[in-house]
Amino acid sequence: MGVALLTQVSRRYFRHAIPLAVLSLLLLYLCARSFRVVSGCTSWAQSCNPEGPPPVQVRWQSGPLEAPKWKEPPCEGPQGVLGRVMEPFRASLNPEGDVALSQYLAGWRALVRFLTPLGSIFAFATDEASAKVTALEARVHGPEAAHYSSLAAMAAWERRAGLLERPGVAPRDPARSSGSRTLLLLHRALRWSQLCLHRVAAATPGGPDAGVQCGDAYRTALAPHHPWLVRQAARLAFLAFPSRGRWLGLACPGAGETEARAALARAAATLEAVYNRTQGLLAERGLLGLA
C-alpha cells in the first residue's frame, strides 16, 4: 500500500512538474529573445554588438566630405497628402507679388480634403469654405474671368464697377457678395488652419492637446468675427477634437512622429506665406473691413 501510494504521488508530481518546467523554459527563452531584440544582440557571445552600423561611423575618403542629402517624405511629394495642399498654394504666390486666384482656390480645395477626415469639428469650417471657393470659382471661370485672374486684378475691377460692399455692411444676399469680400472670409479661415497646423506640429510632450491648441487658434483668428452662438458651438466641438496622433497620421501616413511633425510644420509655413501676402494686399486696398 505504501509503495502504491508513493507511486500515485510520484505520478501526480511529475504530471504537474513537467508542464511547469516546460513553461519556465519557454518564459526563459522569450525573455532571452526579448533581451536580444532590445539590445540588438543576435547571439549569446561574450561580446555582443547590435546589428547594423554603429551610431557614429567615420569613413575615410580622399575627397571632401559630403553632407547627407535630405529626402522628402512621400506625404510632401506631388501625390502626397500635404504635397497636394502645398503645391497649389505655393504656385499662387506669383513673382509679381500678387496672389493667383485659380491656384489659391485649388489649394483651398486640397486643404478641405485634408481637413474633412478629421471629424465633424471641421464641418462648420470646411462647408463654409467649400461654398466660398465655389462662389469665387464661378467668377474665375465666368464671363468676367479676365478681371479675376489675381487678387489685385479682382479688387481693382470690383472697385471700378462699384461691386464692393461698404465696410461693415453685410449684403442682404450672401450669395451676391463681392469676390473681394468672399476672399476675405476665406483668408480668415486660412489663418485659423495655419495656426492650428503650426501648433499641432510644434507641440511639446506633456503640453496642451491638439483640441486646446486649435481652440486657441480659433479664438485668435475666427471667433472675433463670429456671433456668440457660433462661438459657443465651436467651444463645445473642440472638446471632441482629434488627437495629435490622428493629425500626424493623416498628414504623413506611414511616417514617424518626428518626420510627420516636420512635414506638418513646413505645410503650416507655406500657408503662413500665402496668408501674409494676402493680408498685405487686402490691407493696401482697404479691404480688411469688408466683413
C-alpha cell belonging to residue 142: 465666368
Judge whether 242 and 62 are in contact, CB under 8 Å.
no
Q: How does pLDDT run along the chain (291 residues), one tens digit per residue?
A: 433 433 443 444 434 443 433 333 333 333 333 333 333 433 333 334 444 444 334 343 444 444 444 567 899 998 899 999 999 999 999 999 999 999 999 999 999 998 887 766 666 667 788 999 999 999 999 999 999 999 999 999 999 999 999 887 778 777 789 999 999 999 999 999 999 999 999 987 777 888 888 888 889 898 898 889 888 888 887 877 778 888 899 899 989 999 999 999 999 999 999 999 999 999 999 999 998
Residue 250 CA: distances (Å) to CA of 89, 95, 198, 256, 263? 19, 32, 15, 12, 12
Q: Cell digits for 5?
A: 501510494
127's grid cell: 462647408
Q: What CATH architecture does domain 74-284 belong to?
A: Orthogonal Bundle (1.10)
**How far apart are the C-alpha atoms of 226 and 219, rounded to whole Å?**
10
Q: What is the pLDDT of residue 237?
A: 78
d(CA 265, CA 213): 14
Amino acid 122: pLDDT: 66
Q: Which residues of 32-70 are buried (b: 16+ CB within 10 A; e: fewer)?
A: eeeebeeeebeeeeeeeeeeeeeeeeeeeeeeeeeeeee
pLDDT at 91: 97
Which residues pair with residue 100 across a beta bridge?
Answer: 150
Packed helices 101-115 and 151-160: angle between N→C axes, nearest 10 degrees:
110
Per domain, the residue ranges of the chain are 74-284
CA distances from 201 to 19, 65, 196, 229, 265 (A): 52, 32, 9, 30, 5
Element (H, E) at 211: helix 210-221
Residue 150 pLDDT: 98
pLDDT at 291: 86
